[in-house]
Chain A
Amino acid sequence: MSTTKTAPAQADSSPVRPRWQTLLIRPETMTFMLLVVGVFGGSVLSPFFLDLSYILRSFTLYSELAIVALVLTMVIIAGEIDLSPAANMALSACIFAWAQASGVPIPLAIVIGLLSGLAMGALNAFLVIGLQLPSIIVTIGTLTLFRGLAQVLAGDKSIRVPEWFIGVDKIMLAGIPLPVVLFIVLAIGLGIVLGGTIFGRNIYQIGTNEVAARHAGIRSARIKSSLFLLVGLVASVAGIMTASRLGSVRYDIAAGGELQMVLMAMLGGTYIFGGRGTILGTFLAAWLLVIVSTGMIVANVLPAVQLVVLGGLLIVAIIATNLIYSRTQR
């Protein structure tokens, strides 16, 4: 106590890395670079790619999934996973459509749809946090359950929505489609929450070491529950937006969307074991995914080959992310 030794002794800690390294060697940097390469490659394939409005219009097709992926990123950072939001989108869209088709006024039908999404999130939260079950299994179960319920409710038919409700993707704000605006606004909002607030920081701490988090007085059950509820709510928003974009609702909307969402989070450098990742990464990865997908469509790549490319991309992203994390953190 009496002596003040501040000189870093060799055995006490490893030397600190230069600032440029910590900034440059990040998964988000990789995502950004892939994005630049993607845009460049796309513009060689087709002049459409230099048209920003074309990219924005393509993005609206993915915007619902991308919006949910932002919240999913926070769930993954907290050390959990939710595979049910795409099925949640379908079920809450079906509940909404069914309600308005049976005469409920649209605003009330929307509220019902959102509440059902919230209820689905609450079910996940109860199973994962209340009953302490592994989230990967729980949400595979609820994804099947939600999709099944949607089919029970809607059958094989499409439920139409009124003419005036169609076309959320055609509403422009400063030349940007409304879903894309929502995505950008939500990304900024969640980015600030995750990076600048105690709530956000606690998410990282829980994902890094939940036992230590509890010992430090962090209410991990409360925080994780609120994340599952938030995914549920945002998924239902996305579901209703999809209904508006398509003009009708079927039980199979956003089928397989959970994988796209996970892909966005992973491509953005979110660490599947929790504790690491950023909203910025997922934000960039969503654009990357859109660029690559539409690029392949423009280049007339067979759908099967497109899947192969996306799968390969995911594996490369995971390898790179793991490499970067093992390099920068021992």
Chain B
Amino acid sequence: MTDTAVAPLISARGIGKTFATVDVLRDVDLDLLPGEIHALLGENGAGKSTFAKILAGVHRPTRGSIALNGKPVEVTSPVVAQKLGITLIHQEPISFPDLSVAENLVIGAAEDGWFSRVPWAEMTREANRLMDLLGVRIDVTRPMRGLSIADQQMVEIARALASNSRLIIMDEPTAPLTPREVETLFAIARKLRDEGRTIVFISHRLEEVRALCDRVTIFRDGNKIATDTIGNLSDADIIRLMIGRPVKEYMHKTGATIGEVALEVEGLTLPGVFSDISFSVRKGEIVGLGGLVGAGRTDVAKAIFGVTPAASGTVSINGKRVSITDPSQAIALGLAFVPEDRAVAGIFRTLSVEQNISVAVPKQLAPGGFIRRAVERAMGEDAVRKLSIRLASLRQPIGELSGGNQQKAILARWLLTDPGVLILDEPTRGIDIGVKAEFYSIIGELAAQGRAILLISSELPELLALCDRVLVMSEGRLTADIPRSRATQEAVMRAAVPRRSTTEGAAA
């Protein structure tokens, strides 16, 4: 356990949480020390986020107790947590987009009556002071809308400072950030630590945890597995503790034979979003599309698939020029698109798994106009077997499955259409390491079957390991087309980071 003599800021003892009948957290003991950055690691569903939410008052623990500075406390709601000096910073901050930054900073802090006067000048002054403290330059009179996600996070952190929080919990803060923004965030986190505050940092990225954190706690299946100083653990140790079994060499590339051009895009332009995008994907080829979040990668995919058609430019499938203005046309032409945001564009949450799987093949499902239940069941069972989807019943709502299994069901939906071209947009986002490996081998197999695959991903190792070529987008333009042999993390990043703003950044 801890070898320090410092009294812990938070001691959690025997924390357990049961949702419905499922134990998501069991008997967790954890001490958080003042002035440390403490990482919580684990696969999705391991319990790390649940634990963090219990600390922040979002969930109430089913069992166990929490002590703050040695005194037992009941964190019954986020407001109570805030008063106790505990703040949770969301990955994509929840804010009031039409209110100014300053107003967002004081929300929840006002103790005055409903109809008391709003002290605008004082509010702005205080907001500016907090921003100076963080060393970030944000005009506090601007509305939140239009701020980058990084800046919105800064506002949340400033809010934590405003209430003088001693424990700041960051739940996957870096996922939507650019490398430079991540550096700024880390600098601020270190500064806060040096002031004696405690920071809990939840992330999937080991290199970040290593760069930032002092100690790390690993969760698996709702249990706390280990807590240790980061220096005492190797990456392999951490992964082994996280998944509870040795990792296979999961990034492999099956040798598919590359054939003719299946998808060709020329001069695709949607003003203000992307311009002059030209590339091609051959049969059996996996082409990566890298770049920073917001570079326009998803928009290009949506344009090809007809969700938001481009204003100009051409798309050809198997050498034939096609005009796609609706996804149904794209599907008829043998395209498939696994969207980035599963909950919004992928699943029908409350509908059965089998219905989610069969939705894209109405003609196979209802040859005579009426749905054949037996056919649907067979489709579902086949998918469960082939992709090893873990579920209790094909009839249960898909929302009850874990993210990885939902994603497998979406993939199964598209495999039923026997697509020639598959566009996968961040297919492994929010998926456990173990299941990711399964996805990688599935993607490899699909290419080996002669399908053309366009893989959009923000995870560089994923792109480098899986792809035959990596395209890179930056600010709506294609900036690089790197063959596998020359693809390195540096090469991709160099092309991904916008030129203009790097110089700006250097000047700032």
Which of B331, B385, B393 has a CB less than 8 Å from the CB of A217?
B331
**A330 contacts B345, C-beta separation under 8 Å:** no
CB-CB < 8 A to B118: which residues of A? none
Do B362 and A198 touch across chains, with their CB atoms under 8 A apart?
yes
B328: which A residues are within 8 A, CB to CB?
217-219
B385 in complex: contacting residue of A4, A214, A330, CB < 8 Å: A4
Q: Cβ of B126 < 8 Å from any Cβ of A? A: no
Tell yes or no: A205 within 8 A of B by CB. Answer: yes
Counting CB contacts under 8 A, is B326 at the interface?
A: yes
A15–B400 CA distance with the chains assembled, in angstroms: 9
Q: Which residues of A contact B391 (CB under 8 A)?
A: 8, 12-13
B405 on the A face (CB < 8 A): yes
Chain B 323-355 interface residues, beta-carbon cutoff 8 Å to A: 326-328, 330-331, 337, 339, 344-351, 355
A21 interface residue per 8 A CB criterion: no
- Mostly, the A contact residues are loop
A204: Cβ under 8 A from any B Cβ:
yes
Stretch at the interface among B8-16, B67-75, B365-373: B365-373
Complex-state Cα separation, A46 to B180, whole angstroms? 80
CA distance A308 to B366 in the complex (A): 46
Rounded to whole angstroms, the CA-CA distance of A15 and B391 in the bound complex is: 9
When the two chains form their complex, are residues B388 and A1 in contact, meaning their CB atoms are under 8 A apart?
A: yes
Partner of A329, one of B350, B370, B405, B438: B350
- B22/A208 in contact, CB under 8 A: no
Query: Which partner residue on chain A sits nearest B365 by CB separation?
Result: A198
The verdict on B234 contacting chain A, using a C-beta distance below 8 Å, is no
Q: Are B337 and A212 in contact (CB under 8 A)?
A: no
Q: How far is the CA of A215 from the CA of B360 in the complex (A)?
A: 9
Bound form: Cα–Cα A219–B359 in Å: 12
B45 contacts A by Cβ under 8 Å: yes
B285 to chain A, nearest CB (A): 20
Interface residues as binary, A1-42 with B (CB distance below 8 Å gives 1, 0 otherwise)? 101111111111111110000000000000000000000000
Which residues of A lie under 8 Å from residue B347 when comparing CB positions?
209, 212
B77 at the interface (CB under 8 A from A): no
Q: List the B side residues contacting A17 at CB < 8 Å.
A: 396
> Which B residues are in CB contact (< 8 Å) with A4?
385, 388
Tell me whether A198 and B360 are in contact (CB under 8 A): no
Determine the distance from Cα of A198 to Cα of B339 in the docked complex, in whole angstroms. Answer: 23
Is B399 located at the chain interface by the 8 A CB criterion? yes
Contact status A276-B370, CB under 8 Å: no
Residues of A close to B222: CB separation below 8 A: 11
Please encode chain A, from 202 to 242, with 1 for each CB lying within 8 Å of some chain B CB and 0 for all others. Answer: 10110011011111111100000000000000000000000
Residues of chain A contacted by B359 (CB below 8 angstroms) = 205, 213, 216, 218
A196 within 8 A of B: yes
| Least CB distance, B16 to chain A, in whole angstroms | 14
Contact of A14 among B20, B365, B445 (CB under 8 A): B20
Q: Which residue of chain B has the shortest Cβ distance to A192 in the bound complex? A: B370
Chain B, interface residues (CB within 8 Å), range = 35 or more
Residues of A within 8 Å of B21, CB to CB, are 14-15
Name the residue of chain B whose CB is nearest to the CB of A204: B351
CB-CB < 8 A to A5: which residues of B?
388, 390
Does A197 sit within 8 A of B, measured CB to CB? yes
Decide: A8 and B392 in contact? CB cutoff 8 A.
Answer: yes
Q: Does A201 lie at the interface of the complex (its beta carbon under 8 Å from any beta carbon of B)?
A: yes
B45 nearest in chain A by CB position: A11
* B residues 395-453 in Cβ contact with A at 8 Å: 395-397, 399-402, 405, 413, 438, 441-442, 445
The answer to whether B371 and A208 touch across the interface, beta carbons within 8 angstroms, is no
Q: Is the CB of A212 within 8 A of B345?
A: yes
Question: Contact at B345–A1, with CB atoms within 8 Å?
Answer: no
Contact A13 B327 (CB under 8 A): no
| CB of A275 within 8 Å of the partner chain | yes
**Contact A217:B349 (CB < 8 A) given known A12-B390, A329-B399:** no
Q: Given the known A-B contacts A1-B442, A215-B339, are A6 and B388 also in contact in the complex, defined by CB atoms under 8 Å?
A: yes
CB distance from A99 to the nearest CB of B (A): 37
CB within 8 Å of A: which B108-130 residues:
none
Q: Complex Cα distance A15/B348, Å?
A: 19
Q: B384 contacts the other chain (Cβ, under 8 Å)?
A: yes
Complex-state Cα separation, A11 to B384, whole angstroms: 17
Report the minimal beta-carbon distance from A41 to chain B, rounded to whole angstroms.
34
Residues of A within 8 A of B392 (CB): 8, 13-16
Residues of A within 8 A of B395 (CB): 16
A83 shortest CB reach to chain B, Å: 25
User: Given B346, B348, B402, B442, which contacts A13 in the complex, CB threshold below 8 Å?
Assistant: B402
Interchain CA distance A275-B399 in the complex, whole Å: 14
- In the complex formed, the residue of B with least CB distance to A208 is B348
Closest residue of A by beta carbon distance from B222: A11
Give Cα A218 to B329, complex, Å: 10
Contact between chains at A198 and B402 (CB < 8 Å): no
| CB of B307 within 8 Å of the partner chain | yes
B221 within 8 A of A: yes
> In the bound complex, do residue A215 and residue B327 qualify as a contact, i.e. CB atoms below 8 Å apart?
yes
Residues of B within 8 A of A276 (CB): 350
Residues of A close to B401: CB separation below 8 A: 12-13
Return the chain B residue nearest A275 by Cβ.
B350
Nearest residue, chain B, Cβ from A19:
B395
B438 partner residues in chain A, CB cutoff 8 A: 1
| Chain B residues, Cβ within 8 Å of A214 | 307, 326-327
Which residue of the partner chain, among A13, A16, A208, contacts B349 with CB atoms under 8 Å?
A: A208
A215 contacts which chain B residues (CB < 8 A)? 305, 307, 327, 337, 339, 345-346
Provide the bound-state CA to CA distance between A6 and B408, in Å.
14
- Chain B residues with Cβ below 8 Å from A3 are 388
Q: Shortest distance in angstroms between A132's beta carbon and chain B's nearest beta carbon?
A: 14
Among B1-46, those with CB < 8 Å from A are 20-24, 45
Chain A residue numbers with a CB within 8 Å of B331 are 217
Report chain A residues within 8 Å CB of B351.
204-205, 208, 275
A4-B385, A208-B348 known, 13 other contacts, Cβ within 8 Å: A3-B388, A5-B390, A6-B385, A11-B221, A12-B391, A196-B370, A198-B366, A205-B348, A209-B348, A217-B326, A219-B328, A275-B351, A330-B399
Would you mind naming 8 contact pairs between A and B with Cβ atoms under 8 Å apart? A6-B390, A11-B24, A14-B20, A198-B365, A201-B355, A217-B331, A330-B20, A330-B400
Closest 6 CB pairs of A and B: A16-B392, A217-B328, A12-B390, A217-B331, A198-B362, A16-B393
